Amino acid sequence: MNVAQKLISSHLVSGDMKSGEEIAISIDQTLTQDATGTMAYLEFEAMGIPKVKTKLSVSYVDHNMLQTGFENADDHRFLQTIAAKYGIYFSKPGNGICHQVHLERFAKPGQTLLGSDSHTPNASAVGMLAIGAGGLNVALAMAGEPFFMVMPKIVRVILKGKCRKGVTAKDIILAVLMRLTVKGGVGKIIEYAGDGIKNLTVPERATITNMGAELGATSSIFPSDEQTKAFLKAQKRGKDWTELKPDADAAYDEEVIIELDKLVPLIATPSSPDNVKRVKEIEGTPVRQVCIGSCVNSSYADLMLAAKILKKHKVHSDVSLAISPGSRQALRMITENGALSDLVSAGARVLESSCGPCIGMGQAPATGAVSLRTFNRNFPGRSGTANDQVYLCSPLTAAVSAITGKITDPRDLIKGSLKLTLPERFAIDDSMIIPPAKKPEKVTVERGPNIKPLPVKGALESSLKARVILKTGDNITTDDIMPAGAKILPLRSNIPAISEFVFSKVDPTFHSRAKSSGGGIILGGINYGQGSSREHAALAPMYLGIRIVLAKSFARIHKDNLINFGILPLTVPSDVYDSIAQDAELEFPSLAKEVKGSSEVTFKDVKTGTQYKAEHGLSERQRKIVLAGGMLNCVKGK
């Protein structure tokens, strides 16, 4: 078996490990972050279980850190008290980004991790199966339920050779994105192999597995080897190491070869992570903002590389450079060794250890300005500025460009070796990770006034007549459906309030039209719902009365979220998509009956009388969920 198959087989609860078949796996660990966590814990609490049943569950605060009102602070109190009561570790604000801290302190080879954030596969850098999912799926895992998914295809990406000067792990994953695109990993696990992985440290591997989310992949995995052992030992977690490698005769569904010694510095241009070009192709483009950080490039190693370049240099007068350390551990270490002083002396603005600019929480770029970021996503408007020009690149390219004031190939400025050896011992201080209460019965869960009850949908209608409220194009993201940012994120625990912003960037009239019509249908293109795992992109539309989403194809996590909240996802071919107009009234005469007993659903355009068929592709389990009106209704019944 390959590594992915070994991890799945050791946790298999039901189903056959055949590509395309639904399987269920047990979950060892869970993680949440505050933007998705409040809702996930409300869902868990509604199940009436006294304590989580996982080996480890951790609640992180890293998204909603900007406290311009009471909402975020109230949510943090809720998260800390509910964690204390139900057996969950709580990582306080300022301790770091969930994925960076989890990699440092909790990720364990051979185990499974389910996280309410799409970049959870960051932890797969140490040879564990880490998967992003909606908050309700994570709540179910904490309740001891298995995680269901379609058995993915396993793609082996063979890394050959060694990266040359100026080329980093970020360039490797950008090369994979250029090859496979943002939908090339859907229904797949990407497993890395080849002699090239021997030279990649765990933080470098994490950069690659993290951005596997941008491929649409279920997860991305490295084996657990000597690099893994060295990293865990340096984190004083040597006892957590176990070797996990593919068998010599392991088979794969697909294979991709990346020759590292032929790679050059790469950059993702606006406004998609797979819109990749060589840095040399756009060199000289003026830059006004540079941001180094986010869960993909904020490790101690990333910060040290940036500091090495910026030392004895000054940030260009036209550039604002912001740096977000990924964890308190990383911040403390660059403080103690003087690298932080080098960054500050160069003119960097040091932000707190949080997601920050990556999710539009501050540092929105100026109008028309190019922003160079080491982040994982550059979807339109995600930065907080409409019509933004966000580029994604390595910390080397970012740091060099901050000095020159224009997009610059790092090889043009780098002199000598930038070789960085990870420390034999990282600075360990877990005092900001609060363990569960020893007497949970004495804990009172604190709830602010912004925390509202979960909305619940009724059972699927036997028949339905509704209008297409919105017709979208291809690659609609969950940022498009349910935007983030400093204005909207504080409303994550208040579905009635946050629903006012559904599709606000795509069509500002969507909310009012959905409410006035009592809900309806959305028609989407290819890869509908790519990007973040935020279940609010399904939960808020459900609250507005969206019953069905017709699309050419769906992103994995969003499709699961739609099902979990009772919205029926139906797939239609391109010609059907083309023939249905926005505002068309569609009739589904035998909706519930066909969902229950057939793989197809029939419907017609009321005005033209044209008959159509759509595929739902639901498993027997998923049919029951949709027919019941969502997972919460099923859980209550159970």
Q: Please give the pLDDT value at position 418.
A: 79
Q: Which of 392, 410, 428 is the last residue of a domain?
A: 410
Which pLDDT does position 2 carry in this prediction? 98
The per-residue DSSP string of 414-475 comes to --S----PPPSS-----TTEEPPPSSGGGPPPP--TT--PPP---PPPSSEEEEEEEE--SS
- Residue reference for tokens 């954030």: 117
Same domain, 562 and 586: yes
* Mean pLDDT, all residues of the chain: 96
- Extract the tokens encoding 425: 């011992």
**Domain closes at, from 262, 283, 306:** 262
pLDDT surpassing 90 at residue 635: no
Mean pLDDT of 243-268: 97
**Same-domain pairing of 90 and 226:** yes
Residue 606 maps to which CATH number? 3.20.19.10
**Sorting pLDDT into bands at 50, 70 and 90, what band is 44?**
very high
Report the range of poorest mean pLDDT among 26-35, 452-461, 473-482. Answer: 452-461
Amino acid at 598: S
**Residues 109, 224 contacting (CB under 8 angstroms):** yes
How many domains, the chain?
3
- pLDDT number for residue 381: 93
> For residue 454, what pLDDT is reported?
85
pLDDT bin (cut points 50, 70, 90) of residue 634 is confident
Average pLDDT over every residue of 223-241: 98
Any idea which residue has 């943002």 for tokens? 182
* Residues 269-301 pLDDT 10s: 999 999 999 999 999 999 999 999 999 999 999
pLDDT at 10 over 70: yes
Q: What's the pLDDT band for 456 if we cut at 50, 70, 90?
A: confident
pLDDT (0 to 100) of residue 417: 66
Please answer whether residues 372 and 291 qualify as being in contact, where contact means their C-beta atoms are separated by less than 8 angstroms.
yes
Taking residue 29's Cβ as centre, other Cβ atoms within 10 Å add up to 23
Check which CATH number belongs to the domain holding 84 and give it.
Answer: 3.30.499.10
The mean per-residue pLDDT over the stretch 186-204 comes to: 97
Asked if the structure places residue 26 within a domain, the reply is yes
User: Quick one: 273 and 253 in the same domain?
Assistant: no
Q: Is residue 503 included in any domain, yes or no?
A: yes
Place of tokens 């969507």: 510
**Domain presence at residue 223:** yes
Provide the domain limits for residue 308. 266-410
Cis peptide preceding 271, ω within 30 of 0: yes
Tens-digit pLDDT profile for residues 125-172: 999 999 999 999 999 999 999 999 999 999 999 999 999 999 999 999
Return the bridge partners of 24, or none: 14, 148
Question: Is position 438 within any domain?
Answer: no
Q: What is the pLDDT of residue 414?
A: 85
Query: pLDDT over 90 for what percent of the chain?
Result: 94
3-class DSSP state for residue 38?
helix
| Residue 422 in domain | no
pLDDT given at position 301: 96
Domain boundary among 410, 430, 452: 410
Q: What is the pLDDT of residue 491?
A: 93
Q: What is the pLDDT of residue 453?
A: 86
Task: Read off the pLDDT band of 419 (50, 70, 90).
Answer: confident
CA–CA dist 2, 546 (Å, integer):
41
Q: What is the pLDDT of residue 410?
A: 96
pLDDT surpassing 90 at residue 415: no
> What letter represents residue 35's amino acid?
A
pLDDT of residue 637: 64
